[in-house]
Amino acid sequence: MSNHKMIQNSKEASEIISNILQKQNVKAVFTHHNPSGSHIDLIQPTELGNLIHHIKFAREPYLTFGHAFKQYKGQYGDSLDEVALDELPNSSILYFAFPNKIYRVDKSDFERLHLKRKNSNGIWTYSYPLSMMELIYDVGGL
């Protein structure tokens, strides 16, 4: 997996994830790009309705995750605003993309861990350790 290129933004991350899904015979369609540009949803039509693949891009993970949640001391994680998470169907799959890696976790697992806190902007967020997510893309060498 070491011949991959660095990811510059959420659009590039969504293209990589879409390619991974296509290799699994899943047809996903880009449909929603939020105004900040850091989140994109890929919609996968299924017999039971649409499955949302929600992608968040950040330059780096939540580096102080292990300080905020002492049981994960020394670990990194990432977060989603509670409002954004609540808007996604329970069957959604979450992707956390960084310049060199992409992680995947089911929304139900993300919420079930219930690592909830108010961030420095006063917004409630849910967080999750990267170590418990599935690594699906790795540029390597970093």
pLDDT at position 58 is 93
pLDDT at 1: 43
Q: Assess if residue 61 is contained within a domain.
A: yes
The domain total for the chain is: 1
Q: Does residue 119 fall inside a structural domain?
A: yes
Domain-located, residue 34: yes
102 neighbors 17 (Cβ within 8 angstroms): yes
Task: Taking the CA atoms of 99, 121, 104 and 40 in sequence, report the sign of the dihedral they define.
Answer: negative
- Buried/exposed code over 23-53 (b: 16+ C-beta within 10 A; e: otherwise): eeeeebeeeeeeeeebbbbbebeeeeeebbb
**Integer CA distances (angstroms), 38 to 14, 32, 34, 83, 115, in order:** 11, 11, 7, 15, 22
Residue 111 located in a structural domain: yes
Q: Is residue 3 part of a domain?
A: no
27 vs 18: CA distance, rounded Å: 8
For the chain, 142 residues long, give each residue's pLDDT as a single digit of tens.
445 789 999 889 999 999 898 888 777 676 666 655 678 888 888 888 889 999 999 999 999 999 999 999 999 999 999 998 999 999 999 999 999 999 999 999 999 999 999 988 999 999 999 999 999 999 975 4
pLDDT value, residue 28: 62
Q: Is residue 5 part of a domain?
A: no
Range of the domain at 46: 10-138
Q: How far apart are CA 93 and CA 104, in angstroms?
A: 7
Residue 16 in any domain: the answer is: yes
Q: Is residue 73 part of a domain?
A: yes
pTM of the model: 0.89
